Structure 1
């Protein structure tokens, strides 16, 4: 058995001839390694997507994988595949933690004499074993780094058994990172791509590009290092190094033999210096201009060529103690968010196009910074960060755990090495995160402060040995805040502690306690489609000036001191106000390095069963299917350079109040002025003023007419075309009494999918617009609820939003009965026909 690292086989080491196997959007370039195969040979790499079968549960070894027809039923699947794609947020049963088997016949046609055949895994959760026939070829622990298994010797045997079986296990393992008490689902399966890759006998395992930008930033020194695949290269092996500028021009070319490559004192064993040269007047990489160079290294041995192409950027990062953060010598306020690898219907097995759409949405929001929580993420994510201009904090999965066994500690060091080795060339990465929340109640084996400080110090030293050009970072482990270069304490003003008006005081207090301060994780949960006429009613009882940290188990919805997370209404309205206050504060502090809001997209967690959408952390700016919440546009109004305007309330179909009551109309825009029209009549022009909270002064008071109302806003940028938005809603003036009964009806049909809405009314039939009851949908008959999506409209158990909830049904045949129920209320039925 020979398990090797990412670059030895590099899935992206595709020959040009294999481009059809892996379609790439033409607007993006990729770091492709070109394996020049013999004339007439097959492709040198192939992504294995189809033809897989899957079985959930344990088997008695690889023999039973292929002799199990009487005891097991296999399902046909394609990759990527996560075996928690449906149950990740099941309201009744925790997500499956255990073994899943995959099987497939493979064909091996290596075009290289004496070539090597590799199975490449872009990531698999969480422990993986690889078998060909009954032979065990590879074992890998960890769900997030790329790894490979060399199957050359096995497939070269006469009559080789090419039945591939892979065993994934996401069961509990105290010796594996991340901890089982982590606030996200530890998914299982082949949830990233799997490929067969063919390499010649001699190949490069890695190419790293090291940049030193001079103090005036008008020249850079470039050093290219490379690592062999473990074979002893012939001394006359030729290495050609080419550098391509962002505009596509070849700007450097040089060749040496392997014997003349300089032994390099680098962080990666076996690495040698292949080339060193000056780069005058470099195009600097930044969020506004993410210029990318390409370095291509071609190894020629006995007429066979193997090329690796790596992209890199030239930029300088400075973070003086006390802040602010400097990129290329200029202050840059880091405006950030976070990302988990999770999506409705897919869990961790996101299709590439969804990843691309998500990263574009983050950039279009105006973010320039992202923390990849809480583990190494896919290569595609890092490539998109490079291309889109998103600075990155990437993190070791040491999350909510003390210091475990020797095996556990070795694994942590290994994962840090792998992450840095595989992602060091990405100019977007500026921080190597050493971990997260390692002061959590209930850690295994304990919160041993001395042990945690010792291990964090070891990781900090190792990270600097591996990469001297970047800062280390850590979030929330206060007794170790002096160890990493950059530290973020816990500040959740207005959610887990205190009021959001306490935010600046908390920042200034914590700033004095560390050298390089950054604020990572802040925000609020919001139940999508729930809105409030009085969003501040939940703050009564919360003490101003209170400790704003998340302490103990403050995330729970019961116990402890008064806090908005427990006592608030979880409305989008309150969340928008909290975000608005935080953003205006951040923009006003010249010393602040930056922040990252938690989190861009709702995601699953085993810990939050009682949330409005069970087992979903609902702090996202978009839902788990990337439907934007109103808060997305609050961020755009502060961060985006593209003119935008948004009337608050697109998912608020019914507002309420007295017939003559003045109501607030909220507008979010980055334009200097806006004009609102109510039912065709202008309410006047307002000018944007960030100090005028909320909505930066873009708010109007008006009386709505009973029934239907139409709103329109026109915003005028400094230059260019006006932007506009409009919405309509009902205004209810009737007061409601105690909730008494549901109404359930069909509201839409689209391509065979039926959407139904449940509304809660009092005994007189008046809609109860503040009702937040938990409800459950059930279906009888031939059809399927579209549920377990972890969204406000895709969950069979969900809290009402303003007295209503929706669910959809697919594959209806004949007549079915949909029911909605809630404790202490009568169940209501609705009959539907397909």
Structure 2
């Protein structure tokens, strides 16, 4: 696994030789036994051995804190967790109500620190936290972490019971605020991100969110004077003294490269911190010949920060960091002094069935797919994502717009206060990610008051008080540093192409609503004869070749047109299909479906990247045939490639060798498609050969499918093999004897599992466009599982998955 900073930015060390806390993880001893800690800080996964119940009561009762006194039907679960497995499509809305989580645990009698805290990655959306019958805290908001300090209430050496009461019912004061039945996404429920037990000395590095200090808490990194020759890292460490007496400490910071070689070091003077007070230690590190972070070369350093008292390390945090500089200006965005066009998409974090409760590996795979699809930018619509997703963006080289929760709702004063607090908490949690270049401190498509927008913009700059490289953004052309409207907010034919203000413009949505609402831009003539269902960009993968071709053309036309104006980039709507509160169907304008299976448009965007591969291999020469080549297929065959020329062959004979299209729907693209006309259909093989500088660089084939013969099983790796407590998409392909997927197949497929784990979702499940999908939740142990897929009249398939 890569080095991924925890939400607390502490280091998660192996269990051996460290604190073992009963009931916390598989490396803990049995209840009542625990080893004395040898080192601090310690961060222990707090995800196992939880219990859950919903729809039984609305209040916490005394018997909830007893193993024997409660009659509630507690179910054994682990985190992340969703309150109910949700169907993919249904007339019934997602579950809303009151649920309870509880966990029994012990902390060693010797005492760990003496600071003990529990950090929740997220809880949807109103959380009341109790320990041993005493209410400790209420947290509002479902998308950002919160920490509960239990140092004074925990019973050392005895069993403790933690209870969390969750309410995910509509609330007009908790962003996004809008009732679910009118919302353009689902917010689900549960303790849906990991939790951690944090054990530290009374003198420690404060948590950035919990400290609730402007531009304070935790570690704050900022680079200046960035060039290939040198860079300066300014680092602020916020120390908190919870002891009853003054403490004296130093801060030592070491910057390591990817080979773990030291490249810079700084040690502060000793500072005295009064009881109950905090101090901010500022350090400056000079870096010679830095490796600069960029989408093509996402180089990450590691900053290791240690707190020393009397020469002994008493606290330690580390974070990955990228050296880079950014600048938004009217008509331009520059990264490390070089112009870069932002080619982006929007992403909702939900999975089918599980909602938001997915593994960190699943978060990584989503980022990997966005990068693989050719994008260099992602907008986190319409809320802050998991930090695991942001860490993946850092590692893979995806620029990010981090977004506060909001959509078409502007509430009362209490709502606005909570929203402004969300903005600050988002910046405090995420401020050190090199991938983040924009802070969406606006409630999307909401009629915000000017004083609120002023305060939101100010909040970003107060939390990041630097003279350069900090940019707020909002969908209204007021207050914010960067204007981010959706293309459909103005009408055809110009949209925002004649925007003339001296302000950076980024089109944060395009390609969906313009066509859904019959606003077809320049392509009115071609669209005039189409039925409504064929005009829209909302096309399920199973709706067929013509629908997928239309969707891809819509995105192509809109993306091409966006180059005609002053926008510094754009983000299509959107990456993955998703579910909404206000409609029972899937919103299907994704370039991949809800199961993360690509549509034709995925490959159109992939062709806009490269053809020189970056560090992780993305952007290499590609070619893709957007045609199933069966009797009903169009004879006009579209091929996507980032190469100079493409030759199309049918059954070994050349149809044509062509340069890219020169139409008005492709004249601004980095790599226009190649459109071939095949005189007549003949069953067999279409083969596309892409040439770069006169040499073959990539090939692709389409074979006419025959009769359904057997199933093939595979699972989605997307840069991550199966891990423990992971969530995997497992695909059963309906194929002919030669292994060609049948794009019209809708067979019912049944999945079976042997080994530790759980199949989630419909089972049997009907294939869509020849592929049936089930979710696999793996267990806690490193082992193997065996899957089998069967369907009437087809040879079955088996798949062994090694869990690492």
Specify the TM-score bucket, using the shorter chain as the normaliser. 0.7 to 0.9
Q: Deviations over 1:497-524 (max 9, x none)?
A: 65xxx3xx22313x22562211111123
Q: Deviations over 1:331-356 (max 9, x none)?
A: 11011112222112322111122222
Q: How does 1:449-528 map to 2 (within 5 A)?
A: 452-467=449-464, 468=466, 469-477=468-476, 481-492=477-488, 502=493, 505-509=494-498, 511-513=499-501, 515-524=503-512
Aligned-pair RMSD on alpha carbons? 4.5
Q: Does 1:628 align with 2:571?
A: no
Q: Deviations over 1:239-285 (max 9, x none)?
A: 222222455322333323442799xxxxxx95523322433443322
Q: Does 1:57 align with 2:66?
A: no
* Map of 2:397 onto structure 1: 389
Q: Is contact 2:342-2:569 (8 Å) kept?
A: yes
* Map of 2:328 onto structure 1: 319
Task: Count the aligned residue pairs.
Answer: 692
1:14 is aligned, of 2, 12, 15, to 12
* Map of 2:428 onto structure 1: 421
Shift of residue 567 of structure 1? 12
Segments of 5+ residues of structure 1 without an aligned counterpart are: 1-6, 23-36, 263-268, 440-446, 527-535, 547-556, 733-744, 758-768, 780-785, 811-817, 819-828
Q: Is contact 2:497-2:564 (8 Å) kept?
A: no
Q: 1:656 to 1:69 in 2, by over 3 A?
A: farther
Q: How does 1:573-588 map to 2 (within 5 A)?
A: 573-586=549-562
Q: How does 1:102-117 map to 2 (within 5 A)?
A: 102-109=101-108, 114-117=113-116
Inter-partner Cα distance in structure 2 for 1:19 and 1:604: 46
Shift of residue 178 of structure 1? 0.9
* Map of 2:242 onto structure 1: 231
Shift of residue 42 of structure 1? 9.7
Q: Is contact 1:333-1:592 (8 Å) kept?
A: no
* Map of 1:253 onto structure 2: 265
Give SS of 2:672's match.
helix
Q: 1:358 to 1:215 in 2, by over 3 A?
A: closer
Q: Is contact 2:258-2:300 (8 Å) kept?
A: yes
Q: Is contact 1:88-1:604 (8 Å) kept?
A: no
Q: 1:270 to 1:12 in 2, by over 3 A?
A: closer
* Map of 1:193 onto structure 2: 194
Q: Is contact 1:746-1:754 (8 Å) kept?
A: no
Q: Is contact 2:325-2:469 (8 Å) kept?
A: no
Give SS of 1:106's match.
strand
Inter-partner Cα distance in structure 2 for 1:17 and 1:567: 49
Q: Is contact 1:8-1:229 (8 Å) kept?
A: no
Q: 1:541 to 1:596 in 2, by over 3 A?
A: closer
Give SS of 2:624's match.
strand
1:173 is aligned, of 146, 167, 171, to 171
Shift of residue 687 of structure 1? 1.9
* Map of 2:583 onto structure 1: 608
Inter-partner Cα distance in structure 2 for 1:714 and 1:105: 62
Q: 1:41 to 1:325 in 2, by over 3 A?
A: closer
Range that drifts further, 43-52 or 639-648: 43-52
Q: 1:230 to 1:691 in 2, by over 3 A?
A: farther
Q: Deviations over 1:348-383 (max 9, x none)?
A: 111122222221121222221111122222221121
Inter-partner Cα distance in structure 2 for 1:184 and 1:133: 36
* Map of 2:786 onto structure 1: none
* Map of 1:442 onto structure 2: none
* Map of 2:607 onto structure 1: 637
Q: Does 1:214 align with 2:192?
A: no
Inter-partner Cα distance in structure 2 for 1:749 and 1:281: 50
Inter-partner Cα distance in structure 2 for 1:201 and 1:129: 25
Q: Is contact 2:231-2:288 (8 Å) kept?
A: yes
Inter-partner Cα distance in structure 1 for 2:122 and 2:299: 28
Q: Does 1:306 align with 2:315?
A: yes
Shift of residue 176 of structure 1? 0.2
Inter-partner Cα distance in structure 2 for 1:296 and 1:234: 25
Q: How does 1:139-158 map to 2 (within 5 A)?
A: 139-156=138-155
* Map of 1:724 onto structure 2: 699
Q: Is contact 2:508-2:572 (8 Å) kept?
A: yes
Inter-partner Cα distance in structure 2 for 1:807 and 1:11: 36
Q: Deviations over 1:795-826 (max 9, x none)?
A: 88x9x98xx9979899xxxxxxx9xxxxxxxx
Q: Does 1:282 align with 2:278?
A: no
Range that drifts further, 342-351 or 689-698: 689-698
Give SS of 2:594's match.
coil
Q: Is contact 1:234-1:301 (8 Å) kept?
A: no
Q: Is contact 2:638-2:675 (8 Å) kept?
A: yes
Q: 1:647 to 1:543 in 2, by over 3 A?
A: closer
Shift of residue 208 of structure 1? 2.9
* Map of 1:29 onto structure 2: none
Q: 1:38 to 1:161 in 2, by over 3 A?
A: closer
Q: 1:434 to 1:169 in 2, by over 3 A?
A: same
* Map of 1:333 onto structure 2: 341
Inter-partner Cα distance in structure 2 for 1:288 and 1:455: 37
Q: 1:564 to 1:68 in 2, by over 3 A?
A: farther
* Map of 2:81 onto structure 1: 81
Inter-partner Cα distance in structure 2 for 1:212 and 1:805: 48
Q: Deviations over 1:101-148 (max 9, x none)?
A: 222222323775542221111112111122223222232111111211
Inter-partner Cα distance in structure 2 for 1:832 and 1:723: 33
Q: Deviations over 1:421-441 (max 9, x none)?
A: 1111112111111124343xx
Shift of residue 312 of structure 1? 2.3
Q: Does 1:597 align with 2:608?
A: no
Inter-partner Cα distance in structure 1 for 2:749 and 2:253: 63
Inter-partner Cα distance in structure 2 for 1:294 and 1:690: 47
Shift of residue 156 of structure 1? 3.1
Q: Is contact 2:749-2:772 (8 Å) kept?
A: no
Give SS of 2:676's match.
strand
Q: Does 1:431 align with 2:438?
A: yes
Shift of residue 692 of structure 1? 7.1
Shift of residue 408 of structure 1? 1.9
Segments of 5+ residues of structure 2 without an aligned counterpart are: 21-34, 207-216, 525-531, 611-618, 715-729, 735-742, 751-758, 777-790, 798-804
Inter-partner Cα distance in structure 1 for 2:538 and 2:386: 35
* Map of 2:678 onto structure 1: 702
Could you tell me the TM-score, scaled by structure 2's length? 0.75
Shift of residue 409 of structure 1? 2.3
Q: 1:719 to 1:152 in 2, by over 3 A?
A: farther
Q: How does 1:523-602 map to 2 (within 5 A)?
A: 523-524=511-512, 564=536, 571-586=547-562, 589=564, 591-602=566-577
Inter-partner Cα distance in structure 2 for 1:42 and 1:211: 27
Inter-partner Cα distance in structure 2 for 1:256 and 1:756: 60
* Map of 1:410 onto structure 2: 417
Give SS of 2:558's match.
helix
Shift of residue 574 of structure 1? 0.8
